[in-house]
Amino acid sequence: MSTWSVQLAVYDLSQGMARGLSAQFLGPAHAIDIIPHTGIVVYGREYFFGGGIQSEPPDLFRRNTGLYPIQIIPLGTTTVTQTEFERWCATTMASGQYSAAAYDLLSRNCNNFSHDAALQGLRMSTGVPQWILDVPSRFLSSPMGQLVRPMLQNMQLTSVEGAQPVGNAVPIATAPPALNPWVNISPPTETNLSRLLETPTLDAFSKPLLANDKSTVPLCIKKVRACLGELEQNALDRFYSLWSNGEPIDSHLSKDVCDSICTCFTTDPSVLSFALMLFRVIILTAKAEDMLDCLNWIRSNLGSVESPLHTSTAARALAWTCLANWMSKTSKESSFVDELIDLAIADLPHASQPRPEVRQAASAFLFNTFLMRIQGVEYLDNEISDAEVTLLCSVLESITEEPDALVQLRRLMIAGRILKPRTAVKTSTVSLVQDLGLVEAIRAISLKSPECKIDEQCKALATDLIQIL
């Protein structure tokens, strides 16, 4: 049985000014934090009540109204189909309950519709929070409330450009606004979405992607020993003894082992994959300066068409796994990393890199890179750089054509980590992503029927990204 995720989008019609100004108009006891408007987001559309029941894709609704959610509340999933829900909408309009002329500020407003749509139309167990439903009565219970009721009523959304009436209703024209205490608020040039939106799926991916399986270490030790001299073998044996017992490893020994592994990289192609598999585990405990030779070898050979990292799929995937583990330890800002990012982007598209294990490992490296970069507060206040815009477009381009669900998920994770932590997402960046049709690609993933657990994660994560964009 198919299911669809249901969300409640909460907007502030006063755009942040209600708390201060309502206290001045109504007194502190009757102050309200927001003038709420809500819509039900399901089936890739946003349903709301104004001039009758209307619907529109969420991103278009926000662009056409200039309003952006202050909160996205997940309500769960429904088995009600879009046809069944829109039939319920048409019935409530035909009965007069939510017709274009039925709007009433206290008892039949946009929030009442969202509540009834959730509980009755979509058969959810929860609807609109009670504090939202109580705002009109709280507002109007003040001595000045009845005097400013026309202002509040005229702030409600009626007809929205581009929105389609559900059923046969014809949206009414928007009335000229009455004197509004929140006028002269200029729409923001920077969209502060990432701090306001709830993106539970994206937020769950908050830890680095690590390849830390230790079960293959004994085999790797055996293979690597075969191409080393006696001194190197002894160092490797001491390292393995200490490592397997959880004892500390001094820097000299760690450096000796890393140098031995680097020797294996260059002397015996048959041992290369085992050496890389061992190195990916050592990275998690070794100091950065101990493994520079190994890292430099991987970097130079990833970009060479004549290297074993180009001819061996397994070795190339393991090389990216090593780099993903390395990036998980700390943020690195250097031309070294920038070069690796360019190489990873080249390994993302299915058209240029047909092996899914390579695409999976390269996308893990990119995710860890940007996850660690956002740890600093100073990074959050920076605008998205041109290089990050390029990466954002690269990971989203042709994403619907990616046949591997894990790669698709990680590409969405990368996009989310570039966008979500910012204090502000520039309008120009959002516009570029929209103009390139990438929002539609993300929406297609959010509407796709999942075939496995990873598909479900892709669907939920795509829904989060649509809210940001």
Task: Report how far residue 219's alpha carbon sits from residue 227's, in angstroms, rounded to the nearest whole number.
Answer: 14
List the catalytic residue out of 37, 115, 220, 258.
37
Is-contact 282 254, C-beta < 8 A? yes
Is-contact 44 59, C-beta < 8 A? no
Q: Tokens 């934090």 label which residue? A: 33
Nearest to 26 by CA among 134, 144, 138: 144
List the catalytic residue out of 89, 110, 322, 458.
110
Is-contact 463 4, C-beta < 8 A? no
Task: Report how far residue 291's alpha carbon sits from residue 267's, in angstroms, rounded to the nearest whole number.
Answer: 18
DSSP tag of 35 = -
CB atoms within 10 A of CB 433: 23
The full length of the chain comes to 469
End-to-end alpha carbon distance in the chain:
30
Establish whether 452 is a catalytic residue: no
Establish whether 310 is a catalytic residue: no
Task: Find all residues with CB under 8 Å of 98, minimum gap 6, and list them.
Answer: 49, 52, 53, 89, 92, 108, 113, 116
DSSP tag of 252 = H
DSSP tag of 117 = I
DSSP tag of 109 = S
Where in the sequence numbering do the catalytic residues fall? 37, 110
